[in-house]
Amino acid sequence: MLTYDMSHADKALYLYLYECIRKDILEGELKTDEKMPSKRTLAENLGISTITVENAYGLLISEGYMYTVPKKGYYVSRISRQQLSSQPAAKKLDIDKRRVDEEYSYDFSSNRTERSDFPFSIWARLMRENISLKEKELLTVSPCEGIAELREAIADHLRSFRGMTIDPDQIIVGAGTEYLYGLLIKLLGEDKVYCVENPGYKKLLSIYRSNGVECRYVDLDDHGMRVDMLRSCGAQIIHICPNHHFPTGITMPVSRRYELLAWANEDKGRYIIEDDYDSEFRLKGNPIPPIQSIDACEKVIYMNTFSKSLTSTIRISYMVLPEHLANRFFEKLSFYANTVSTFEQYTLAAFMKRGYFEKHINRMRLRYGRKRTQILDLIKKVLGSEDCRIIENESGLHFVLEFNTDIGDEELKKRLARKKIRMVSITDFYMDELPRDRHQFVLNYSGLSMDGMEDALREIKKVLAEGRKKA
């Protein structure tokens, strides 16, 4: 007969009893299919109430440690915790994660958003609301392209913010743009030649190549990707950031856009992937409409993400497919499950539908505008025109500083690093092995703290002065 000393209970009696029995089951003191005493018998034996035993048994049954046989009683379940105690602890292998967290006191290169900028309390409230009200929807599997509410909200947003008129059914939602690139390659073909901008976001080249496709790069002139080089390199699908190129900041003029559309129209297999990653943050003037909105021949795939406009920890991006590609997607790739959980899809849909996203964008645009002005003023004050020229067009979350120096780009970065300052140069974004010095450095300001910035700029000034002395 089970005997536990109930006077040792350090919590509610039923919980204590539950733990005692659970322990005996897990340790094999109580065997699989062993009959347990009736509630009354055990209660009498332990000198406690039947209700207490009932509560403890109830918990054990609901958690699967015991089962009942009608009219017979309570039995111990089989708990298959394999070789529970004989297992060694987790092992430690020699896995090198290749993360070198260099300590910088000031980092001009990070493109993270500030944590405090994310409207966390609203997001949390909407998530709580959804959890309370949408249990059924949250537990219903999302269609491969994403839930309708979210795609409708995105279509509305694109209409009012980007002047795009689209069918929500053209939108495919996925866990990050990188995932969507993978889908796109499957949709457009692994046998195609892809092409990215040089300089540009190097990761793109890695992503295309790691997907096993041929990926080339084409130089930019002041208007963006050079069409002559594009023609000679044999590319079929180009990936461009026409609205605010990273890192140069170029906004592609309409003439070049039409040239690229003309190029795409020359061949059936040609497409333009338009990456509109930070268009929400054009700070002044009307944003130039996306190429997607002047494409009459279904040649443009528009892509955007919420990682920039909301927070990088929420993995939701989307692409807008031309009609025939949307149909091809549903024909060939709809067996892929959507990669974003319904919890987050519904939260983002509510966030957009109730106007919070628009408010957030407006607030952030103001905040970034102010910050940008502050930083530019500080740069003018500390560095001045003898040290650098500022290259910017009031859009996006970065601008470029061109230093008046003879120090090579790599050497300058090294010298700054010695002073615990991190900067990346435009040459860091060249796909070629050894680009020549351009003396242009990227300043990502979305996550920069104003504290310490003046000191950091003074250090930069010293390094530049040193260079001039030696030269």
Between CA 83 and CA 222 the distance in angstroms is 67
* Near a copy of itself by CB under 8 A: residue from 41, 45, 50, 312: 312
CA 9, 10, 13, 18: dihedral to nearest 10 degrees? -80
Q: Using CB under 8 A, which of the segments 285-293, 413-421, 448-456, 458-466 binds a copy of itself? A: 285-293
When asked if residue 314 is in the footprint of a copy of itself (CB under 8 A), the reply is yes
When asked if residue 262 is in the footprint of a copy of itself (CB under 8 A), the reply is no
- Residue 302 CB, nearest approach to a copy of itself (Å): 14
* Near a copy of itself by CB under 8 A: residue from 31, 159, 380, 414: 159
State the CB neighbour count (10 A cutoff) for residue 145.
25
* Near a copy of itself by CB under 8 A: residue from 27, 34, 44, 63: 63
Q: At 249, list the tokens.
A: 């900041």
φ/ψ bin of 189: left (φ > 0), alpha (ψ from -120 to 50), beta (otherwise): left
When asked if residue 313 is in the footprint of a copy of itself (CB under 8 A), the reply is yes
Task: Strand 193-198: give its sheet, edge to edge.
Answer: 171-174, 317-320, 300-305, 271-275, 237-240, 193-198, 214-221, 224-225
When asked if residue 315 is in the footprint of a copy of itself (CB under 8 A), the reply is yes
When asked if residue 377 is in the footprint of a copy of itself (CB under 8 A), the reply is no
Label the pairing between strands 300-305 and 317-320. Answer: antiparallel
When asked if residue 133 is in the footprint of a copy of itself (CB under 8 A), the reply is no
**Count of residues near a copy of itself by CB under 8 A:** 111
Q: Strands of 109-255 (E only): list them.
A: 171-174, 193-198, 214-221, 224-225, 237-240
- Residue 321 CB, nearest approach to a copy of itself (Å): 9
When asked if residue 112 is in the footprint of a copy of itself (CB under 8 A), the reply is yes
Burial 91-117, CB ≥16 within 10 A → b, else e: eeeeeeeeeeeeebebbbbebebeeeb
Q: At 43, list the tokens.
A: 């209660």
Over the window 83 to 102, marking each residue x when it contacts a copy of itself by CB under 8 A and - when it does not, the resulting string is: xx--xxxxxxxxxxxxx---
Q: Using CB under 8 A, which of the segments 75-83, 101-109, 257-265, 463-471 binds a copy of itself? A: 75-83
User: CA 2 → CA 6, 201, 447, distances in Å?
Assistant: 12, 68, 62
Half-sphere exposure of 211 (CA within 13 A, CB side): 25
When asked if residue 311 is in the footprint of a copy of itself (CB under 8 A), the reply is yes
Between CA 81 and CA 330 the distance in angstroms is 43
Instruction: Return the residues of window 16-45 that contact a copy of itself according to CB under 8 A.
Output: none
Q: Using CB under 8 A, which of the segments 49-57, 78-86, 257-265, 384-392 binds a copy of itself? A: 78-86
When asked if residue 161 is in the footprint of a copy of itself (CB under 8 A), the reply is yes
* Near a copy of itself by CB under 8 A: residue from 3, 286, 436, 470: 286
When asked if residue 71 is in the footprint of a copy of itself (CB under 8 A), the reply is no
Instruction: Return the residues of window 421-450 that contact a copy of itself according to CB under 8 A.
Output: none
Residue 7 amino acid letter: S
When asked if residue 1 is in the footprint of a copy of itself (CB under 8 A), the reply is no
Instruction: Return the residues of window 172-211 that contact a copy of itself according to CB under 8 A.
Output: 175-176, 178-179, 182, 185-186, 190, 203, 206-207, 210-211
When asked if residue 402 is in the footprint of a copy of itself (CB under 8 A), the reply is no
Q: How far is CA 388 from the centre of its chain?
A: 33
* Near a copy of itself by CB under 8 A: residue from 29, 51, 120, 414: 120
- Residue 228 CB, nearest approach to a copy of itself (Å): 30
CB nearer to a copy of itself: pick between 3 and 85: 85
Q: At 281, list the tokens.
A: 């943050």
Q: Strands of 91-138 (E only): list them.
A: 106-107
State the CB neighbour count (10 A cutoff) for residue 409.
22
- Residue 101 CB, nearest approach to a copy of itself (Å): 12
Between CA 305 and CA 315 the distance in angstroms is 8
* Near a copy of itself by CB under 8 A: residue from 127, 229, 376, 391: 127
Cβ atoms of 320 and 298 within 8 Å: the answer is no
CB nearer to a copy of itself: pick between 7 and 87: 87
- Residue 117 CB, nearest approach to a copy of itself (Å): 9
Between CA 105 and CA 109 the distance in angstroms is 12
* Near a copy of itself by CB under 8 A: residue from 334, 373, 374, 449: 334
CB nearer to a copy of itself: pick between 91 and 436: 91
When asked if residue 81 is in the footprint of a copy of itself (CB under 8 A), the reply is yes
Cβ atoms of 441 and 400 within 8 Å: the answer is yes
Residues in the chain: 471
When asked if residue 282 is in the footprint of a copy of itself (CB under 8 A), the reply is yes
When asked if residue 457 is in the footprint of a copy of itself (CB under 8 A), the reply is no
Q: Using CB under 8 A, which of the segments 156-164, 243-251, 384-392, 428-436 binds a copy of itself? A: 156-164
Instruction: Return the residues of window 345-374 that contact a copy of itself according to CB under 8 A.
Output: 359, 361-366, 370
Cβ atoms of 236 and 267 within 8 Å: the answer is yes
